[in-house]
Amino acid sequence: MSNQPPRPFRVLGIQQIAVGSLDKGALRSLWVDLLGLEPRGTFKSARENVDEDIIVAGRGPFAVEVDLMQPVDPEGKPKVHDPALNHVGLWIDDLASAVSWLDSQGVRFTPGGIRKGAAGFDVCFVHPKGDAAHPKSGEGVLIELVQAPAAVIAAFDALAASPGGVE
């Protein structure tokens, strides 16, 4: 058992995975052409050094976004292609509470705080490495916390309440 105070938020499920390469065309060939995931949009930001295609596996509130990323500048930062599995995104039912609580528990976040992500949802990132002030981290993995919209929260709640649903 943990001695931590009650968590004021829930992680509902996987919102996205982001994979990177120097050539997102090769990624698209695998994920879209061969595996059949559905293209949904694009996002490009010189500040974030990313040119990405947003594709989706699944349907409705349980769809999982797969971001295919290549750097705008291969020598720039962040290096969205290294590591190739760039980050994992989690649906959070109350992002502001999650960030506040996790910060109070010593979790390190990347600069920028809560902001709009590429898909239009509010996001915040758990840093892959801790520091002296915030020793808890993603232990080598960048984790995107994503504010779940009401429809996603309702769908996960309905699934959990159904016979044989998840707890």
Taking only the tens place, the pLDDT of each residue in 28-55 is 999 999 999 999 999 999 999 999 999 9
Residue 125 lies in a domain: yes
Spatial neighbors of 142 by CB under 8 A, at least 6 apart, are 86, 87, 88, 110, 125, 126, 127, 128
Mean pLDDT over 70-80 rounds to 96
Residue 3 lies in a domain: no
Mean pLDDT over 57-68 rounds to 94
Give me the chain's average pLDDT, please: 93
Q: What pLDDT is attached to residue 105?
A: 94
Mean pLDDT over 1-12 rounds to 83
Mean pLDDT over 65-82 rounds to 96
Number of domains in the chain: 1
Tell me if 15 sits within 8 A of 146, measured CB to CB.
yes
Domain that holds residue 116: 11-161
Residue type, 92: I
Tell me if 18 sits within 8 A of 69, measured CB to CB.
yes
At 42, which CATH number? 3.10.180.10
